[in-house]
Chain A
Amino acid sequence: DGGITQSPKYLFRKEGQNVTLSCEQNLNHDAMYWYRQDPGQGLRLIYYSQIVNDFQKGDIAEGYSVSREKKESFPLTVTSAQKNPTAFYLCASSLDRGSIYEQYFGPGTRLTVT
C-alpha cells in the first residue's frame, strides 16, 4: 500500500527543545516537501528536496532544518530558534519536478509547543 506516512500525529514539546518530525514515502518519488499550515491559513513552504543529499530553503526556512539521506525519508527538525513553532506540519512528495507533477500529502503532524 503506497503512500506517505508522518509520525506522530500529535506532538507536544516544551519551549526550548528541538523536535524532529518524521516523513517517509514508499512511492519512489524523487521530490519531497515540508509545509507549515496555521489555522485558517494556506500552505507555506519550509524546505524541499529534489534528490537525495540535496535540499533547498523555502519561504520560511528560518528555525528549521532538514536532511535527505535516503530517497524515502525527509525528516524535519523544528529548532528552538523557531519563534512560533506551534502549527500543523505537512509533508508531501511528487514524482519529479514538483511544479509539474501533483503532490501527494501525508496526514500531517500537529505540533504544540508550550
Chain B
Amino acid sequence: GQQVMQIPQYQHVQEGEDFTTYCNSSTTLSNIQWYKQRPGGHPVFLIQLVKSGEVKKQKRLTFQFGEAKKNSSLHITATQTTDVGTYFCAGPAEYGNKLVFGAGTILRVKS
C-alpha cells in the first residue's frame, strides 16, 4: 500500500547547526503538508506545497517539493532550542479523503 517515509528518525544537533529531514512517498502526491509537534503537545500545521519543484521559506525554515512530487524536505538553518519537536510530513491518500503521515523526525537541540 501507499507509504510515506521520513528520514532520519531522530537527530540531535548543537544549537546553531543546520537540520534537514527528508520525506519520500511511494506514490506521486498532489500536495504535501508539514506539521510540527512540540514535546507533550499536538501537531500544528506548518505549510503545504502543491507545485512540482516548489520552494517555500518561513524565516529559518525552507521547504521543498521534489520535481516528481514524490519527495520533500524541510531544512532548518541555525537551529534554536525552540525548534525542538517532531516534524511530520503528510500527503493525500490514494483512496479516501485523508492524509497519510510519515513516522516523523524527532529533533533535539543541545544548547
Contact = CB atoms under 8 A, between A and B. Distances in A.
B66 interface: no
B86 to A, nearest CB: 9
B24 to A, nearest CB: 14
Contacts of B44: 105
Q: Mostly helix, strand, loop or mixed at chain A's interface?
A: loop
Contacts of B98: 33, 45, 48, 58, 98-99
B75 to A, nearest CB: 21
Interface residues of A, number: 24
B61 interface: no
Interface string B74-104: 0000000000000010001100111101111
A99 B97 contact: yes
B93 A99 contact: yes
Interface of A: 31, 33, 40-43, 45, 48, 50, 56, 58, 90, 92, 97-100, 102-108
28 contacts: A31-B97, A40-B106, A42-B88, A42-B101, A42-B102, A43-B43, A43-B88, A45-B98, A45-B99, A48-B98, A50-B97, A58-B98, A97-B97, A99-B93, A99-B99, A100-B31, A100-B92, A102-B45, A102-B48, A103-B35, A103-B43, A103-B99, A104-B45, A105-B42, A105-B43, A105-B44, A107-B41, A108-B42
